[in-house]
Amino acid sequence: MGNWDGLDRRKFPRVKYPCLVILKDAEDNKEIILSHTENIGIGGICVILKKNVKMFSTVEIELDLLDMSQHIKCQGKIVWNVQRKDDAKKKPAFYDVGIEFKDITDKERERVEHIITKLAGLDREVPYT
């Protein structure tokens, strides 16, 4: 295994790209969590949260890709969460949470793919309008 180079080798490759994300519980639409992405892929995002989120729950996502375009708004499903190890007992626990995009439009997915391709330095062209 080599060092993390910003590109993960998964079904949906991910790149380090810290952008603003707002999450709302899709069921009660009350609680709002403001965070940033740890990484992003065509299929979803990883965010760092101060609270544990129930597996397979649905969230409303508002994602600012910092590309001067409208925020992406879609639903997502919590597909994994892992508590970060922390030796300090008095500090709040943080969680890495994986969220799969559920109803993202093709145009918005292309925007995400364009950023991933650009950051990863891949040789293929991605249409972007």
List average pLDDT for each run of 10 residues in the chain, which is 129 residues long: 42 81 83 89 93 91 92 96 76 88 95 88 49
Contact 104, 77 (CB under 8 A): no
pLDDT for position 78: 95
Radius of gyration of the chain (CA): 15
Task: Specify the amino acid at residue 20.
Answer: L
pLDDT for position 85: 81
Structure tokens, 54: 């129930």
pLDDT for position 87: 62
Sign of CA dihedral 89, 3, 18, 49: negative
**Domains located in the chain, CATH noted:** 14-120 (2.40.10.220)
* Separation CA 76–CA 26 (nearest Å): 9
Task: Specify the amino acid at residue 31.
Answer: E
